[in-house]
């Protein structure tokens, strides 16, 4: 991916399709469209996956809670959503096996009756998952549950129901989709904010006006069709094109907190089946930490980044603690993050937690703007397929969708054990080799080569994490990392797992990026100070001393 090349193409070419927003939805649409032979531009006002798509619970799932609601309320829309999620689950796992993996989840229960209820429910969940090879659910004894998650409180535990879903590194998965689209010929760029449109005499969109927020330069990207994939920000773009459109989005805030891995001391995740506000909460091992989430509250300030606050921190700890033998101390909290669900509602009276997570495609007849609204990570490919099918209809074409069989960047010839060969070939520790393989897949050798060619870059960024200095260089040269946050929050996931260590490694990352991107000393200082101030704001917001 080469940003200057893409910017030149935006000035010189006319595209079939310009996609606004490079989260899961926009990246998925770009790959689908380019594989069908369309000439595609993909732009985002910030970084790829910088909004909701890097701040999810990271589950590839049909949603056990949605299944429960579907049966309790005889809600067929929820049932369809579960079926779609489970149909897509195995494709998400198969197409980027380095970034997505099966995840075992334990549901602890406090009575025989509760165990039976969840066993029947999860057996139904299994039955919806046709075409996939994940193990089926199992009802386990108390001893078996404690063997798997030793930190649970034996006094309150009767038994547990184990089931499987998928887990992905959401930000890197999105990046792999963008990289794949780019490798197929799409022009992609981050930090391109759409601020207007050009229309022809009949009012149809013919070009997108965007500003490169890094340089301040303006671009007019000509395109026959514009697709709006801006998730929770979709109303802004819809109304920018046609102010007469009614608002559709009901964004809802969800936060997660990160605790040390010893909280569960397990590779198994846990589903807390009932919270005080009638939802489910997960405790999931992720990147050497235990991630707890999420909340669900209406959020109207979409222009402000949703941050973890003191009340949410207390709520998540209070939800988890009754299950643990030793309650978590809030002082152990390492970090947290918030995201906005792009929920859709025609009924302002409904609570956000009852809204279906399904997607909808809207064609504004007046301007020709196509908007992909709602949805979830798990179904991103299906959402993209439905959107580009609609684009096909607009172009009077019938090009087949082939994304179900398209292996994403880094997933080619991937073998779970190949980290061993990487470790031997490049004299890397097992920890580093495993990390590189799990993030870059079949391209891990390219990062290892940078480290081998310069011993300074073979050093780790932090003694506590397997991240190498070489990854900063690779991220800038190959993955279009432009800011410190691009690297620390999304190319590696340190910002979301450990705020204090993020601050510690910041000067080194800044100096490596400054050299690669030819920043002046003044710019390096400014980038460092701004990002450090943001992390300090997160720490203060969550009242972490
Ligand atoms: C707390 C939480 C937990 C979740 N957990 C899960 C889960 O476990 N599994 C699951 O399947 N789903 C989950 N989801 C849902 C899933 O994360 C989202 O549905 C999905 O990421 C939305 O992707 P998107 O591309 O539509 O939106 P986004 O990822 O928000 O992307 C929209 C993009 O548009 C860009 N943009 C906005 N305005 C402009 C503009 N003017 N010009 C250019 N670009 C612009 C933004 O910068 C952004 O990158 C969760 C969501 C939340 C909030």
Measure the CA angle with vertex 165, ends 141 and 170; round to 5°. Answer: 135
- What pTM value is reported for the model? 0.97
**Same domain? 128 vs 176:** no
Q: HSE, CB side, 13 Å, CA atoms: give it for residue 370.
A: 25
Asked whether residue 400 falls in the same domain as residue 359, the answer is yes
Long-range contacts of the stretch 412-418 (C-beta < 8 A, 24+): 412/441, 412/442, 413/442, 414/97, 414/98, 414/441, 414/442, 416/97, 418/442
pLDDT, one tens digit per residue, over 318-351 is 999 999 999 999 899 999 999 999 998 766 566 6
8 Å CB contact between 482 and 521? no
For residues 161 and 261, membership in a common domain is answered with yes
What's the confidence (pLDDT) of residue 153? 96
Q: Answer for the pair 22, 42: CB distance below 8 angstroms, yes or no.
A: yes
Centre of ligand 1 from the C-alpha of residue 422, in Å: 34
- The set of residues, in sequence order, having a beta carbon less than 8 Å from that of 476 and lying 6+ positions away, is 482, 487, 513, 516, 517
Q: In a mutational test of the pocket of ligand 1, which residue from 52, 169, 211 has the highest number of ligand atoms less than 8 Å from its CB?
A: 52
Q: Which of 163, 166, 197 is nearest to 20 (CA)?
A: 197
**Residue ranges of the chain with pLDDT lower than 70?**
346-357, 545
Q: Which of 56, 170, 197, 237 to mutate to test the pocket of ligand 1 (most atoms within 8 A of CB)?
A: 56
Residue 427 sits in the same domain as residue 502: yes
Domain region containing 244 = 3-53+171-249+355-405
Strands 14-20 and 40-43: parallel
**Domain count of the chain?**
3
Q: What is the structure's pLDDT at 71?
A: 81
Q: Which class for 294: exposed (0-12), middle (13-18), buried (19 or more C-beta within 10 A)?
A: buried
Rounded to a whole number of angstroms, the distance between the first and last alpha carbons of the chain is 40
Q: To which H or E segment does residue 505 belong?
A: helix 499-517
| Domain membership flag for residue 536 | yes
Tell me 461's DSSP state. Answer: S
CB 290 within 8 A of CB 283: yes
With contact defined as beta carbons under 8 Å apart, do 310 and 318 qualify?
A: no
Provide the H-helix boundaries in 378-455: 380-394, 419-426, 430-440, 444-453
Q: Tokens 């020709």 correspond to what residue?
A: 368
CATH number for the domain spanning 359: value is 3.50.50.60
Query: Could you tell me the CATH number of the domain that includes residue 441?
Result: 1.10.8.870
Query: Does any domain span residue 133?
Result: yes
462 C-alpha to ligand 1 centroid (Å): 30
Q: Does residue 191 line the site of ligand 1, with CB under 6 A?
A: no
**Using the 8-state DSSP alphabet, how is residue 249 labeled?**
B
Contacts of 284 (CB under 8 A, 6+ apart): 57, 58, 59, 103, 167, 269, 270, 290, 291, 292
- 59 C-beta closer than 6 A to ligand 1: yes
Task: Choose the final residue of a domain: 335, 353, 371.
Answer: 353
> Is residue 91 included in any domain, yes or no?
no
Please report whether residue 206 resides in a domain.
Answer: yes
Do residues 263 and 336 share a domain?
Answer: yes
Ligand 1 close to Cβ of residue 378 (< 6 A)? yes
Tell which atom from ligand 1 comes closest to the C-alpha of 255. 1
346 and 375 part of one domain: no
One domain, residues 382 and 425: no
Task: For 89-151, give the DSSP string.
Answer: HHHHHHH-TTTEEEEEEEEEESSHHHHHHHHHHHHHHHHH-TT--PPPPEEEEHHHHHHH-TT
Question: Are 222 and 371 part of one and the same domain?
Answer: yes
In a domain, 333, yes or no: yes
pLDDT of residue 300: 87
Dist. CA 201 → ligand 1 center (Å): 34
Tally of residues, the chain: 545
Phi, psi of 376 (to 5 degrees): -145, 170
Tokens of 456: 């300074």
Let me know whether 263 and 146 are in one domain.
yes
Regarding whether 142 and 161 lie in a shared domain, the answer is yes
Same domain, 446 and 521: yes
Whether residues 359 and 377 share a domain: the answer is: yes
- 251, 302 contact by CB (below 8 A): yes
- CATH assignment of the domain containing 285: 3.30.9.10
pLDDT for 416 equals 87
CA atoms of 277 and 297, how far apart (whole Å): 11
In whole angstroms, what is the distance from residue 250 CA to residue 374 CA? 10
Q: Which two tokens stand for residue 446?
A: 């390219």
Q: Name the phi and psi angles at 487, rounded to 5.
A: -75, -55
- Tokens linked to 325: 């033998």
Atom 1 of ligand 1: nearest residue by CA position: 254
């Amino acid at each position: 991916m080469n940003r200057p090349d893409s910017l030149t193409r935006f000035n010189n070419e006319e595209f079939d399709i310009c996609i606004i927003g490079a989260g899961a939805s926009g990246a998925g649409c770009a790959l689908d469209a380019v594989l069908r032979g369309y000439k595609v531009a993909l732009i985002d006002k910030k970084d790829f996956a910088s909004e909701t798509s890097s701040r999810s619970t990271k589950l590839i799932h049909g949603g056990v809670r949605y299944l429960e609601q579907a049966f309790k309320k005889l809600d067929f829309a929820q049932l369809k959503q579960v079926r779609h999620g489970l149909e897509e689950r195995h494709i998400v796992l198969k197409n980027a096996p380095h970034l997505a993996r099966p995840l075992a989840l334990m549901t602890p229960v406090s009575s025989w009756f509760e165990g039976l209820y969840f066993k029947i429910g999860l057996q139904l969940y299994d039955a919806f998952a046709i075409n996939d090879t994940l193990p089926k659910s199992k009802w386990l004894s108390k001893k078996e549950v404690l063997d798997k998650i030793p930190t649970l409180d034996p006094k309150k535990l009767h038994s547990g129901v184990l089931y499987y879903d998928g887990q992905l590194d959401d930000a890197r998965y999105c990046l792999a989709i963008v990289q794949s689209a780019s490798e197929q010929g799409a022009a992609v760029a981050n930090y391109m904010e759409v601020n207007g449109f050009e229309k022809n005499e009949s009012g149809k969109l013919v070009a997108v006006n965007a500003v490169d927020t890094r340089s301040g330069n303006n671009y007019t990207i000509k395109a026959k069709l514009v697709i709006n994939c801006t998730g929770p920000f979709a109303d802004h773009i819809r109304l920018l094109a046609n102010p007469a459109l009614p608002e559709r989005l009901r964004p809802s805030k969800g936060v997660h907190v990160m605790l040390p891995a010893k909280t569960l001391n397990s590779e198994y995740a846990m589903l807390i089946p009932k919270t005080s506000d009638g939802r489910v909460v997960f405790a999931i091992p992720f990147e050497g930490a235990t991630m707890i989430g999420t909340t669900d509250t209406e959020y109207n300030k979409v222009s402000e980044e949703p941050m973890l606050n003191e009340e949410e921190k207390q709520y998540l700890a209070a939800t988890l603690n009754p299950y643990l033998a030793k309650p978590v101390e809030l002082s152990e909290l390492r970090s947290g993050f918030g995201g906005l669900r792009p929920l859709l509602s025609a009924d302002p009276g409904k609570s956000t937690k009852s809204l279906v997570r399904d997607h909808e495609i809207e064609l504004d007849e007046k301007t020709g703007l196509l908007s992909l609204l709602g949805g979830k990570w798990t179904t991103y490919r299906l959402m993209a397929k439905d959107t580009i099918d609609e684009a096909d209809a607009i172009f009077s074409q019938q090009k087949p969708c082939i994304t179900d069989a398209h292996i994403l960047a880094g997933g080619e010839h991937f073998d779970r054990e190949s980290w061993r060969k990487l470790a031997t070939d490049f004299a890397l520790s097992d920890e580093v080799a495993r990390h590189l393989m799990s993030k870059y897949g079949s391209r891990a050798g390219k990062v290892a080569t940078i480290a081998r060619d310069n011993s300074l870059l073979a050093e780790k960024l932090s003694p506590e994490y397997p991240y190498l200095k070489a990854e900063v260089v690779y991220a800038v040269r190959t993955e279009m990392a432009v800011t410190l946050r691009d690297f620390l929050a999304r190319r590696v996931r340190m910002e979301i797992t450990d705020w204090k260590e993020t601050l510690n490694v910041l000067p080194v990352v800044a100096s490596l990026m400054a050299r690669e991107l030819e920043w002046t000393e003044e710019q390096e200082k400014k980038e460092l100070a701004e990002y450090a101030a943001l992390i300090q704001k997160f720490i203060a917001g969550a009242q972490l001393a």
